[in-house]
Amino acid sequence: MSPPAVCGASVNALSRQFAVRAGLEVHERERSLIIRLGGGKQTVVPRRVTTFSIKLPNFPMYTTGSFVTEISESNDAMLGMPWLNEVNPIIDWMARRDSGVYLLVEFRDVFRSELPSVPPARQGAMDASIDVSDANPDYLKQFPLSKDQREAIVQWTREMLKAKLIRPSSSPYCAPTLCFRKPSGE
């Protein structure tokens, strides 16, 4: 079998030639099928269906109902949105390959689901400091903030202090705080 084409089509499909070579049982259905292809194109094809299983490197075995139709001459199979929705691969489109996320799945016991509230204890004299005793601190005036922005900054600071992820600074240096809306509008 040639490597399958992975695209945004609304269905999975096999080429008729591959279905015959693989000895798959193909069933004819009464009504024709309108298929949405990648790039917003549509095509009408006879409704021929079969079931097949495929095992791709770094992905679990996938069994699916599939339409049998003409697809790219260089591919025996086309995996569309049903496969993408179930397997949910992370694909590096520039390199044209799936990313190494399967390593995260395979070794999930190594990775913590939540970070600890405090950094791990350091051994020895690993605290870092920068001597700025003879430097003049830079100072920039805080940009004007709305009441909501000030409240959001204060709330975030309290949460981070309570979680011990930050500590009060004793540095004479400072920088203004910027606030941006999230895509959700918050």
Q: Quickly tell me which residue has 């903030």 as its tokens.
A: 145
The secondary structure of 6-46 as a DSSP string is E---SS-EE-HHHHHHTT---EE-SS-EEEEPGGG-EEEE-
Half-sphere exposure of residue 125: CA atoms within 13 angstroms, side-chain side: 1
For the chain, what is the mean pLDDT? 78
Tell me, what's the pLDDT at 158? 92
The domains of the chain, with CATH numbers, are: 5-109 (2.40.70)
| First and final C-alpha spacing in the chain | 50
pLDDT at 98: 61
Give per-residue pLDDT as tens, 105-160: 677 777 666 766 666 666 666 666 777 777 777 777 788 888 988 998 899 899 88
Place 35 in a pLDDT band, splitting at 50, 70 and 90: confident
Question: Of 41-45, 105-109, 164-168, where does mean pLDDT reach its minimum?
Answer: 105-109
Rounded mean pLDDT, 27-31: 85
Class of residue 83 by CB neighbours under 10 A (exposed 0-12, middle 13-18, buried 19+): buried
Mean pLDDT of 69-74: 77
132: amino acid identity, one letter: V
Q: Where is pLDDT greater, at 7 or 3? A: 7
| Amino acid sitting at position 168 | P
Give, in order, the Cα–Cα distances in Å from 146 to each of 1, 43, 155, 156. Answer: 62, 54, 14, 15
User: Contact at 8 Å (CB) between 66 and 52?
Assistant: yes
